[in-house]
Amino acid sequence: MPLSQFDPERYFEFLSEKESRMATLFTPFTIKKPDVFASPKTHFRYRAEFRIWHEGDDFDFVIFPKGQNKSPIKLKDFPIACLQINQLMPKLKASIEKIDILKRKLFQVEFLTTLTGDALVSLIYHKKLDDEWQNKARTLASDLGIQLIGRSRKQKIVIESDAVVETLTVAGESYCYRQTEGGFTQPNPYINQSMLTWASKQLTHSNGDLIELYCGNGNFTLPLAKHFDRVVATEISKTSIYNAKWNCEKNTVDNISFLRLSSEEFTAAMKKEREFRRIKDAQIDLDDFNLTTILVDPPRAGLDNDTLSLVSCFDHIVYISCNPTTLVENLVTLTKTHEVSRWAIFDQFPYTDHIETGVFLKRK
């Protein structure tokens, strides 16, 4: 996000512009107004990464304007990042500057924090990390009360843990989530809670079973599972599946079956075009499920044609989108068989053009 666009006094003006833009895009599909969920104006981002700019014995956290890799903007603080990241930045800088082996050839710093106060910092280097680095890093982590990871080419050194545990409140209930360094997590937990609560509200009176594609670490899966008899959730990432299962156990949710399959593979399995050992090994018979509802949270490319065809077969569809362009393209097909019951705008990334959208569709 260009800092030049950061203007808390104009936040709701920017949000209104997003709402107007999306209302125009949705005109062919519904005349209903969206539910609009605003972000905090500042300190809303709990994940951040910065390049390191060295000058003599000093270094600074920097960001670069788009396409200007030789024009760093030095940062003393970062107002879109949470207070914990802003508090850690000067402490980390002051500590590292005193220790040459931690400072030398440091290239990038990444922060992953939570509403509950956990913090994981990744230090990324252009050098091999040795035992001396590890000893100094362990002391640094202890002094700052953080978990720490060192990375360089073909190296990953974990001090204590490579994950944090977040706690989110959804419709009055708390859920904890293991979030791994390098894995996908929603960067704005306030809007994430709004997304989960909104989706849960749409499915309150559901019946039958739920299928979820692109489930990640179970972000939506856990709070939605209580509305269904059983849930099948798919995800291609091994790390995400591991975290999703950990999260289920931690939250004592026992009606979810996870499958490590891409959306294309699951579509082929549902259409009986292919058999997958991963489904057999999980002892899951898809024919035994009464799959009435599907939730999809696809990447920016949206749904491919085969998956889109599969999604159209369900009575109820919850579509979470990070790209209005591909969402609208998919809605052209989906609204041939379904109608938009409710839709929402989630301002995940204030002061940018990015818009996160939720759509709940019912069969006509």
Say how many residues make up the chain. 364
Task: List Cβ neighbours of 310 (8 Å cut-off, separation of 6 or more).
Answer: 266, 267, 270, 271, 294
Going by C-alpha positions, the residue among 222, 225, 219, 180 that lies closest to residue 206 is 225
- CA distances 265 to 64, 203, 235, 249, 300, Å, are 39, 26, 10, 26, 19
Distance CA 272, CA 276 (A): 10
Scan for tokens 């920097």, then name that residue.
Answer: 62
Q: Which residue among the candidates 166, 212, 265, 356 is catalytic per the annotation?
A: 356
Structure tokens at 256: 């979810």
Active site residue 13: no
**Of the listed 82, 215, 248, 322, which one is catalytic?**
322
User: Quick check: is 176 catalytic?
Assistant: no
Cα separation of the two ends of the chain: 40
**Buried b / exposed e across 248-263, counting CB within 10 Å, b at 16+?**
beebebeebbbbbbbb
Residues 115 and 312: their CA atoms lie apart, in Å, by: 37
256-259's contacts with Cβ under 8 Å and 24+ in sequence apart are: 256/218, 256/221, 256/222, 256/225, 256/230, 256/231, 256/232, 257/230, 257/231, 257/232, 257/233, 257/282, 257/284, 258/215, 258/218, 258/233, 258/234, 258/282, 259/232, 259/233, 259/234, 259/235, 259/284
52 and 59 Cβ atoms separated by less than 8 Å = yes
CA 225 – CA 231 distance, rounded (Å): 6
In angstroms, the CA 143 to CA 361 distance is: 51
Nearest to 133 by CA among 121, 150, 145, 146: 150
> What positions carry a catalytic annotation?
322, 356
